[in-house]
Amino acid sequence: MSDGISGVSGVDRPSSSSYSPTDNSPDASGNSGSPVPGQTGKQGPAGPANGQYDQYIDSAAKKYGVDPALVKGVMAQESQGNTYAESPAGAEGLMQIKPDTASALAGRDVTAAELQNNPELNIDLGTKYLAQMISEKGSVADGLGAYNQGPDADWQSIPESQAYVKSIMDAVDNGTLPNWS
């Protein structure tokens, strides 16, 4: 982006295909921060988060002119519906947004805790950023690549990002996204 905002999900993220965010949700004893291998959200029969965020997704998608299926695809790829997901690069919550990016998008200070504990805000700002990346880059694929690796990265030269974009695009095109409703 022209204002130098960098970073949601993949910025500084390891290029390993086995990457998964950390689940920071409190356990029974109140502890948090332990990685959850292979899964970072509550995977139910209807898909991640069982549709509890659909109203926020639909609202943000309409507000920013983005296909709700695309937002669901990004969310599924980024956090599997886990509000407490946190990347090693510091991206937070459902849409895996860094606090500095969220703050610039919101026009006010947004904390990591707020991104994890306010799903409506996280989805709104993540969708706003996705819409900006798509508009700036000129295509959905390039917007997804920029969302994943940052606006100045060459996502097409990064195997992880190629897989990220292909996975979401294929899911949207084939209608194989999680049914969260």
Please identify which residue in the block is written with the tokens 């805000």.
121
pLDDT at 8 > cutoff 80:
no
20: in domain: no
Residue 78: the pLDDT is: 92
Q: What is the arithmetic mean of pLDDT over 97-109?
A: 98
- The two tokens of residue 63 are 């507000």
pLDDT at 21 over 50: no
Q: Is residue 49 part of a domain?
A: yes
Domain-embedded: residue 12: no
Q: DSSP letters of 17-84?
A: TT---EE----TTS------TT--S-EETTEEGGGTTHHHHHHHHHHHT--HHHHHHHHHHHHTT-TT
Residue labelled with tokens 């390993």:
16
Rounded Cα distance, 140 and 157, in Å: 17
- Separation CA 129–CA 102 (nearest Å): 9
Total count of domains within the chain: 1
129 belongs to a structural domain: yes
Domain span at residue 118 reads 41-138
Confidence (pLDDT) at 84: 94
How far apart, in whole angstroms, are the C-alpha atoms of residue 149 and residue 129? Answer: 13
Residue 153: inside a domain, yes or no? Answer: no
Catalytic residue among 78, 92, 114, 120: 78
114 catalytic residue (yes or no):
no
DSSP code at position 155: G
Distance between CA atoms of residues 24 and 38, nearest Å: 15
Structure confidence at residue 176 (pLDDT) = 78
Residue type, position 176, single letter: T
- Does the structure show a pLDDT above 90 at 146? yes
Question: Is residue 73 included in any domain, yes or no?
Answer: yes
Which pLDDT score, from 0 to 100, does residue 174 have?
Answer: 85
Least confident of 7-21, 41-55, 95-109, 148-162: 7-21
Mention every residue, 6+ apart, whose C-beta is less than 8 A from residue 105.
5, 97, 125, 128, 129
* DSSP-derived 3-state class of residue 93: coil
Query: 27 lies in a domain?
Result: no
Query: Taking the complete model, does pTM exceed 0.85, yes or no?
Result: no
Helix or strand (DSSP H, E) at 86: strand 85-86
Domain containing residue 134: CATH number = 1.10.530.10
pLDDT for the residue 16? 31
pLDDT per position as a tens digit, 47-101: 456 778 889 999 999 999 999 999 999 998 999 888 999 999 999 999 999 999 9
Tokens of 157: 């030269």
Mean pLDDT (the chain, rounded): 78
